[in-house]
Amino acid sequence: MRLRVEGLTAGWTAVPAVSGVDLDIADASMVALVGPNGSGKSTLLKTVYRALRPTAGRLVLGEADVWRLPHRDVARSVGVLGQDQHGGFDFTAREAVALGRAPHLGVFDRIGPADAAVVAECMETTGCAAFADRPVSTLSGGERQRVLLARALAQRPRLLILDEPTNHLDPRHQFDVLSLVRGMGITVIAALHSLDLAAYYCDTVVVLSGGKVAGAGAPDEVCTPGLLRRVFGVEASLLPDPVDGRPRLLIRPATDSPPHRAAGAAPQENREHTA
């Protein structure tokens, strides 16, 4: 589903956290939203899934203004894995994932066999089936993250919003989650802290800096050493992956960063005591 962001301004105080943002996100594309801490990534995503009303501008999903659509229509179209979601700690993992079917049920409907099949499939593809009957409160951070993703997928969204989806995940599960959503043929917008994963998996990288778009486009157009130095204060090299040729980003500290201390070296102030 195509999403157009037009002159979007939003925030929490008189000073907007994002301002004047224009983006045109193509149907079925995978977009990484990157930027330093506090640059406005979550704020922007919240305006899309209607957790924060913009103070100016529009979000057009397909042909409709997101903020004029009935709440239920948005819930049916937009799946969310948010940064501060809880996911039903009192429920089992299967029950928590089944909550994703709610927008598709009538007020008095109970989950039917077709819904149960969707829930089972989403748990399987996200690797949650093994702990389907365990209470969410007993799961590890990474297991819980996968349950929340399964719940978002159980909505069968046409736009999937992921706010730091790789948080808590080991490397294998980070790859699995991003490969999975990339292969679904739906529009995905993911706030990511790993610039390397952003470049490797996404069609488009959007860089936010101070609430404004500092760059947007294909990874090799946007992830340039100059832009990444300016926005993140790091040195970066974009190289083709030696195996599959896709873009990889090597990041190192900027030359003016505090000096790197060798692993295992005692901090200066402790040395006298340990000598």
Return d(Cα 209, Cα 39) in angstroms, integer. 5
In 3D space, the residue among 194, 190, 170, 172 whose CA is nearest the CA of residue 181 turns out to be 190
Q: Is 17 in the site for ligand ATP (CB under 6 A)?
A: yes
DSSP state of 92: B
Does the protein bind ligand ATP through residue 41 (CB under 6 A)?
Answer: yes
Tokens of residue 16, six digits: 């907007």
In the complex, least distance from residue 204 CB atom to ligand ATP, rounded to whole angstroms: 17
Residue 40 or 103 having the CB closest to ligand ATP: 40
Q: Does 103 bind ligand ATP (CB under 6 A)?
A: no
Q: Is 12 in the site for ligand ATP (CB under 6 A)?
A: yes
Q: Does 43 bind ligand ATP (CB under 6 A)?
A: yes
42 is an interface residue for ligand ATP by CB under 6 A:
yes
Contact 60/66 with Cβ under 8 angstroms? yes
Each residue 185-204 as x (binds ligand ATP by CB under 6 A) or -, in order, gives --------------------
3-state secondary structure of 240: strand
Token representation of residue 201: 């998996």
**Which of 7, 26, 27, 38 lies at the binding interface for ligand ATP (CB under 6 A)?**
38
Q: Running DSSP on this structure, what letter comes out for residue 254?
A: -
For residues 47 and 92, which CB has a smaller minimum distance to ligand ATP in the complex? 47
Confirm or reject binding of residue 47 to ligand ATP (CB under 6 A). no
Instruction: Give least dist CB 211 to ligand ATP, A.
Output: 7
274 touches ligand ATP (CB under 6 A): no
Q: What is the DSSP letter of 112?
A: -
8 Å CB contact between 129 and 120: yes
Q: How many CB atoms lie within 10 A of CB 193?
A: 14
Residue range at the interface with ligand ATP (CB under 6 A); choices 36-44, 56-64, 177-185, 262-270:
36-44
Q: Which stretch binds ligand ATP (CB under 6 A): 33-41, 98-106, 115-123, 139-147?
A: 33-41
Could you tell me the smallest distance in angstroms from the CB atom of residue 264 to ligand ATP?
30
State yes or no: residue 39 binds ligand ATP (CB under 6 A).
Answer: yes
What span, in angstroms and rounded, lies between the C-alpha atoms of 148 and 126? 10
Q: Which residues pair with 237 in a beta bridge?
A: 250
Selection from 119, 122, 101 nearest residue 110 by Cα: 101
Six token digits for residue 191 = 């706030």
Q: Which residues bind ligand ATP (CB under 6 A)?
A: 12, 17, 35, 37-43
